Amino acid sequence: MLDLLSYGATGWGDELLQGAGMTLLVAVLAYLIGLGAGCLTAAAKLSGPLPLRWLAATYTTVVRGVPALLVIWLLFYGGSGLVGWMAGLFGYGGRVELSAFAVGVASVGLVSGAYAAEVIRGAVQAVPKGQLEAARALGMHRLLILRRILAPQALRYALPGLGNVWQMTLKDTTLVSVVSLAELMRQAYVASGSTRQPFLFYLVAALVYLVITTLSETGFRALSRRADRGVRRATA
């Protein structure tokens, strides 16, 4: 049974490893997109003009309310039309085809962003208003306030929530296998189809996900500890 998992032409070890690499790539890219979209959406919700605020609220409500799988199918069938239409606005008339990779990263990122936005909004609101007023009274520039007062503290409040968003984003990448992107689930599916050993390959896939989620939880806990340095704790 172990030779099925070996590295090389007869085993599926290398395919699974490549799949795991693809899973991590999609997850990291989608998470970064999500963080960017989340910051912008949170900013729009907190201090944007009314139409922007309305747009941000619609985005987070709708995307958090429908299954990620539906978002993936929507972009898979409708994404190239949308990009083609936008390209048309810039005078490009050709057909646009979106790859499975692009669809996967964009849709998982879109979902990630909606959840990240709520986490970031809550974290920014948790920073005491008095500190921002004090900074302004001292004549601090807006960007300086953001960099020195708001961001470091909001980051500390946001870290646990952002850790959860990362775990969710990682798990959502499994859904991209439905559009045949060769990530871990897809590779396990192909391997179990041709070897008739589905239990073995899905178990291996599950273990790989388990290792990634456990390691990243440790990582986020270390980040949290670092962000918490210098914060006084009540001891019982």
Partner 1 sequence: MDMILSSLPSLASGAWLTVQLVALSLALGLLLSVGVALARLSGSVLLRAPAVAFIFLFRSTPLLVQIFLIFYGAGQFAAVRDSFLWPVLREPYWCAIIALTLNNAAYTGEILRGGIQSVPFGQIEAARALGMHRLLLFRRIVLPQAFRQILPAYGNEMIQMVQATSLASTITLMELTGAARAIASRSFQPVEMFVIAGLFYLAMNFAIAQAVRWGEKRLAHAG
User: Per-residue x/- marks for partner 1, 135-174, CB under 8 A?
Assistant: -----------------------------------xx--x
Which residues, in sequence order, are CB contacts of 194 under 8 Å at separation 6+?
none
Asked if residue 112 lies in contact with residue 30, where contact means CB atoms within 8 angstroms, the answer is yes
Structure tokens at 18: 């490549």
- CA distances to 71, 188, 207 from 204, in Å: 28, 8, 5
Q: With binding defined as CB under 8 A, does residue 57 bind partner 1?
A: no
Size of the site for partner 1 (CB under 8 A): 36
| Dihedrals phi, psi of 32, to nearest 5 degrees | -65, -45
**The pair of three-digit structure tokens given for residue 13, joined into one six-digit string:** 């070890």
Choosing from 73, 84, 151, 161, the residue that interacts with partner 1 (CB under 8 A) is 73
Among residues 7, 47, 54, 67, which is the contact residue for partner 1, using CB under 8 A? 67
Asked whether position 69 contacts partner 1 by CB under 8 A, the answer is: yes
Cβ proximity to partner 1, 73 vs 101, nearer residue: 73
Whichever of 5 and 43 has its CB closer to partner 1, that residue is 5
Select from 85, 198, 218, 222 the one that contacts partner 1 (CB under 8 A). 198
Q: Which residues contact 63 (CB under 8 A, 6 or more apart)?
A: 71, 110, 111, 113, 114
Query: Among candidates 182, 174, 179, which has minimal Cα distance to 98?
Result: 179
Among 8, 199, 231, 232, binds partner 1 (CB under 8 A): 199
The footprint of partner 1 (CB under 8 A) covers 61-62, 65-70, 73-74, 77-78, 81, 170-171, 174-175, 177-178, 185, 188-189, 192, 196-200, 202-203, 205-206, 209-210, 213-214
